Structure formats: C-alpha cells, structure tokens
Structure 1
Amino acid sequence: MAKLAVLAVLASLLSSVSCEFSIYAGYGYPPPNPSQPYPLPPACPPLSPAPGLKVGYYADKCPCAEDVVRDAVRNATAGEKAGLVRLFFHDCFVQGCDASVLLSGPQTERTAFPNLSLRGFEVIDAAKAALEKACPGVVSCADIVAFAGRDASYSLSDGKINYGVPAGRYDGNVSRDIDTFFNLPPPFGDLNLTTAMFAAKGLNENDMVVLSGAHSIGRSSCNSFTDRLPPAANSSTAMEPILAADLTNTCSAGSVNVPQDFKTADTLDIQYYKNVLSRDVLFNSDASLTTSLLTNGWVDFYAGNRPSFLGKYLAPFVWHNDFGEAMVKMGNIGVKTGPPQGEIRSKCWSVNNP
C-alpha cells in the first residue's frame, strides 16, 4: 500500500507535464491485468438518514445560512458550479461528508491525483467568510459544501433540480491523500468495480446511474481518458470513432481540458444518457453502464427512449427528481454530528487547533 501511495504521488506530479503517464498509477491502481482482477470493497448496508441532520437546521441558529451560500454560488462561473457538484461527491466518498477535501497541506486529500482538478474552493471560502461574520462558529464547511452542491445543480439545470438539504454536519479533522485512491471510483473502472465502490458507501446501482449523470457538466483533462483513445480496445463500449479521432487530435497538444458532454456542456440534463448509448462519453466507467441489462435499462429510460408517454416526455422530470434524492442520500455518508469526531471550523482549509 505504501509503495502504491508513493507511486501515485509521483504520478500526480508528472501529470502536469505529460499526458502519457498511466492514469492507473495516478489513482494508486496497478495497470489492468485480466488474470488478476482488482479486489472489490465489501458492500455496506443501504444508507439511512444520518441522525442529527434535518432540513432547515439553521433556521433558528443562522437564518441567512442557505441564502449566503446561494448568493456565493450564483456569482460563480459555469465551470465553478460544475466543480461544486463534483466537490460534494469527492468529499462524501472520502472520510464521509465532512469537508475533509477542503483541508490544505502536504499529503491531504486535496493533493491527491484525483483531486488536483477540483474547482470551487474559492466559492466555499467566500461563503464561509460571510457566514463567520454573520454567525461566527455556527455553520460548518461540510454543510456549505452540501448547500453549494445543491445550488450549483439548481443553476446548471435551469432550476429543474431543487431539493431540501438536511444539515447539521460537523467538519472532520482528518485528510489523507492515500484515502482518495481506494474510495473514489476511477474513470477507467468497469461496471463491477464502479458498482462495488458505490455499494461500499451504501449506494445502489440506481444511485450510481443517477449520480453518473453529473458527467453532463464540467470538463476533464486528456490524462483521465487516455485508455479510451486509439489504439484502445475495440469492444462494444469503445468510444465512438469520430469522437475518439477528434480527441486524439486535440489531446496531442498536451494536457488539454475538454467538455465531458460535447452537446450541452454547461447544462445538467439527460443528454449524458443519450451520450452513453451512442458511446460519446469520455470514461470507461460511463461506457460500462451499458454492459448489464439493469443499468442499461436505467440509462435507456433516463435518455427518454422508452416508447411510452412516460418514457419520452417525463424522463427528464424523473431524472431531476432522482438526482436530488441521490444527492441527499449521498450526503448521509460518514456524517459527523459533534465532537470529538468533528468541529465547526472557522476556516475551511484548516482545522481550528492544528
């Protein structure tokens, strides 16, 4: 494990100068070997609401809390908003939803290869600074990340995704880069690996398919999908040839960032599912959703391909609702609701008493 961590850190340093390094090493995984499949993590029981969390938690503690976060997100760019949705995911999957991803310093989650491209930290810091003036020591960074993920989703979906965020989380005081490698589903994962990594957090296959729809927004570095470009495998999940050729040409310039959804890049919508079916997706983890009848069925439904009225016209509404529910469910992972497990940080990038 220690050797893998060292290799992963080295790979993360090299990633800024070359797009030829192995994304497997960057995530702490060895290269694929069909005779030695990756060990899958054990599944956890389904998530239930975390004790102590409730919608409207700050109503009598800091009534302006959600408004302050909403204003900070409103002023963010589309790229920052996409980053805030991703930031919530990356926080919850490592150490739980406790803002551990925000802590800065050597060998923290923030320095690990999968998190080097995270965005939105300035938005969180701005909201936190405003809240510390209005309600000192009351609103946790973990709750700010959760609110910001919801508000960014609302904005990027043109108001179609909106849900109440149960709050009352405390901020964690542990952040280790090594933890990211074995908790964050990698982009090169097949369906078994991705499903197992979601299950390890108490999330089922429908949650996985629904939350994968967040790849409808944001951008990704060429480094993260080198395994999908020619001469990649010619399987049924291989990238659509025209897109693969275009990306090969684009990525030849180096470490370039490209849209994850080339058709509606800044809109959180069901176009992602149409892209999965036409193989116009960057990551193997997305393409592999078509490799089982169950997950392919959900992809097909959310894409609006079912012949019934419900399938064709209501699929977007169903997905918007399901996405909000899955975000709430994910927000229950590893919640800390008081000391000694957590605290209310005065600055999101540092524990109160280092």
Structure 2
Amino acid sequence: MEHIAADDRCRTGAWALEASGVGKSFDAPVLRGIDLTIARGEVLALLGPSGCGKTTLLRIAAGLLAPSSGRVSIDGVLVADGERHGLPPEARGIGMVFQDYALWPHLSVLANVAFPLRMRGVAVGERRGRAMGALERVGLAHLAQRDPGTLSGGQQQRVALARAIVAEPPLVLFDEPLSNLDRELRESLALEMGALLRELKLSAVYVTHDHAEAFTIADRVAVMLNGAIAQLDTPETLFTDPATPEVARFLNIGALIDGEVSARRFRCGTGAICVETPGEACADGPAQLLIPRTAVGPAADGPLEARVARCQFQGDRYLLHLELGSGERRLVCPSDTPARPGARIALALDRARLRLFPQTSQPLREGHAS
C-alpha cells in the first residue's frame, strides 16, 4: 500500500472520524460499505457479536489494516483511500487503549504515559510535564512514580487512557478494554469510563460486544451485524425503536412472534395473541410482532396470557421466564413479586411499545428474551 504524502493530505470536513463506503474482504467480505461519521467530542460504540466486523473497522481506522474499498478521514485529514493509499498508524496521531492496557511493567506510571512523546522525539522536560498533565486529567498524578503492577484494574485503565491522550489526539480508539474483567468490575469501570470520557470531551470509538457497556459509555451506538451497520442511534432509540427484527433479537429486547396482519389486527398462528397493530398503517400479510419486556399485572390493551416457566430471584427483583401461546415463544419480565412455576398470569401490553415488522423476505427464526 502506498503512503499518502504529507502534501497530498486533504481536509474533508469537521468530523473526528468519517468513513465512506468502507469495505474489507479476506476470503470473504468482512465489511460491507460502511458509512459512518463521528462528531468531535462524541463517543461512539461499535457493538456486535464476534465476527461482525467491528474490530476490523477499528483496525482500519487505526491504520493496522487497509480497506479493500472506501475512504477514511480523521479530523478532516484523508488517512486511507482503498488499498492504494494510506497513512501509517504513527502518522495518524490517534490514541489507543487495548484489552490488556499494554502497559510496560518495567517503566513507572509516568514513563508509561510519556512513552508516546518519547517516540516522537519530544524533549525530556516537555514530555514529563505533558505526562504529568495527562495523569492529572485522569486523577492519578499522585501515582506517577508507582509501578503499573501495583495498581488496581481501574487505575491501570486510567493510566492507559492518560497515555492515549497525552499527545492530545483528535481520536481515541478503544479495543474492548474491559472484556477480560469479571462482570461486577466491568460494570463499575464502565460507569467510571463513561463519566471520564465526557469530562475530558474526547472523540472516541469504543468496540465492545457487551450491550450494557456500550449503552453506559457511548453517546451513540452502531449495532454491527454481518459486516454492516444494522442501526446507528442513541441507546434509548435502539431499545424503543429497533430498525429490524435482527437488531431487536441481538439486543434481547423481547419476544418476536411470527404471525399475520389482517384488517389492522395481528394474530399469531395459534391465535393465542391477537392485538391491534401498532403504527398508523400496515399492509396485510406475514409479519413479526415484537413484544418488549413488559410488566406483569392487569392487561392494559387487551389481555395477553402467559405461563410461568421459571421464577428467578435477583436480590432486588424477580425475573419471570414466561411462555406465550403453546410454549415455543418466550419472554422474560421483571416483577416485584414472585410467581409460581406453572401459573398463568396476565401481561400488561403497552401498545406504544409494540413494534411490527412486515416480512418481505424469508421468515426469520423465532428468538426469545433472556
């Protein structure tokens, strides 16, 4: 791949990151025409299952991979143009935070943070001052002389972030930095990371496969499925208005029910579910109805009966695992009170939260909430 010469760089806009038609193929396509923009000061999460292409997209932004097609710009500078032209990673001026933090164990915290400046030939006095400034920004200046191995996981995370921002990059890339931690620590560090990124007003791309982590940290979330962005929205919008059944299934929003629309009513094959269709209008024909996790209690929009398969105690609430219809469709609902397995209960349906997806192609495999 030819490098873009400094004189050939061109300003393309005011975005922290702009991707246009980015594709990548190995033996088969991995990325399919990705279009993406990230505003300055915005944190965007790439969320998806293993193999969806999110890490490949991050590596292309970092300069560790060349796209097969499409263009990438960082802070208005063209850094990649298909396989023919591209800036090397060290010339892109970005910061990166890795899964294992990648801290040098034989260097002090201060020396770890100063390392990127050292590689750029910054004078000793200046890089020490700038490294201390970065540590102050993440609240660790008092640990500057400590060895990284003596720090907690959260402190190491902050050191890695200080090192990523010490050169004041236009964009910071996070490659699943919390994935190796247990769930409780991951949740607490995600809260801390989200608050810190907003306080520092960083522009960032955050790769994760964990829904809660993405929603805690990011301003917007791009759900990636099969090498494409299936939906890019705020966390709230993703949950209240998923664009496709695939997005709803991946985010585990509720139960997807196959059925038929006729005369503005949706009815599943067994007839156990029959509701007025949500929305202004819907053509007759095959469709799927998304019933989100809902409250247990009196019916609000016509009765929907479910059988309790299991009651799970979670300390501050119960999770009721429910069977709809003849039992092949499942939904999980929170409840303040327990229910006996085998009991039949009524669900409160909020029609405004129902989502209907007309089937224009092969019917999808039924999913379930968990």
Q: Please, what TM-score do these two structures have when normalized by structure 2?
A: 0.22
Question: Which one has a bigger Cα radius of gyration?
Answer: 2
Q: Please, what TM-score do these two structures have when normalized by structure 1?
A: 0.23
Structure with the higher helix share, 1 or 2: 1
